[in-house]
Amino acid sequence: MAKRDIDFLFEIGSLRNVPRAWQQVLTGRVQNIAEHIFRMTMIAWIIAAAEKADTAKVLKMCLVHDLGESRAGDIAFMHREYVTRHEELAEKHIFKNTMLEKETVTLLKEYNERQSLEAKIVKDADNLDVDLELNELAKIGDTSAIGMLKDHRPHVRAQKLYTKTAKKMWDEIQKTNPNAWHQKLTGKWVRSKRGAK
């Protein structure tokens, strides 16, 4: 284990301090980059299982897909009109001289080309995490999130998702209350406590 690997681990820890760029237009608290990577990795795992893909490759690809943002930052679509970002250079430099350098170069190239099933799954998960977060923000009344869900995200479902599983998940996300998972549990607990009295 080289010192460079330890430096790398401290650097990726800093991603918890890097907000997603769309914080500028959304009024609720948005995920940081580390939180985004975690949930989209879980999404990708589900898709990979359903699509019978190479799960190990999918998970590794998820873990590295946005790490360059520790150096290049995250930019929203509106920023792309004005900013030239050297994300590939950042990705190259973040992994340079680490134990992961050779494998991550291959994984990132495959992800960016979007030809393999695994790369498509990772991009699908990246997109679905956006929809989950927008639905969470819409639930608390964020009007920008509500507008994005109505005006932009159906286009993503129709033209940007690759796998059948991701499209089914997108449909389910749109009709699921973001609080349902805990309200059901809370309701069960409350009913059992009332019955105990």
Contact 36, 20 (CB under 8 A): yes
Q: What share of the chain is helix, strand, coil (3-state, %, to 5)?
A: 75, 0, 25
Sequence letter at residue 54: D
The pTM (predicted TM-score) of the whole model is: 0.89
- Domain ranges in the chain are 3-179
Write out the DSSP string of 61-111.
HHHHTTTTHHHH----GGGGGT----HHHHHHHHHTTSTTHHHHHHHHHHH
Q: What is the pLDDT of residue 196?
A: 59
Identify the DSSP state of 179: T
- Tokens of residue 173, six digits: 């996300």
C-alpha distances (whole Å) from 36 to each of 49, 101, 113, 115, 119 are 20, 23, 21, 23, 17
> Considering only CA atoms, which of 74, 71, 79 is closest in space to residue 129?
74
- Residue by residue, pLDDT tens for the chain (197 residues) are 688 999 999 999 999 998 888 777 787 788 999 999 999 999 999 999 999 999 999 999 999 999 988 888 787 777 778 888 788 888 899 999 999 999 999 999 999 999 999 999 999 999 999 999 999 999 999 999 999 999 989 999 999 999 999 999 999 999 999 999 888 787 776 666 666 55
Q: What is the pLDDT of residues 37-82, one digit of tens each?
A: 999 999 999 999 999 999 999 999 999 999 988 888 787 777 778 8
Q: What is the pLDDT of residue 94?
A: 92
Sequence letter at residue 159: Q
Q: What is the pLDDT of residue 37?
A: 96
Identify the DSSP state of 22: G
Q: What is the pLDDT of residue 62?
A: 98
CATH superfamily membership of 3-179: Hypothetical protein af1432 (1.10.3210.10)
Query: What CA–CA distance (Å, rounded) separates 109 from 122?
Result: 13
Q: What is the pLDDT of residue 197?
A: 56
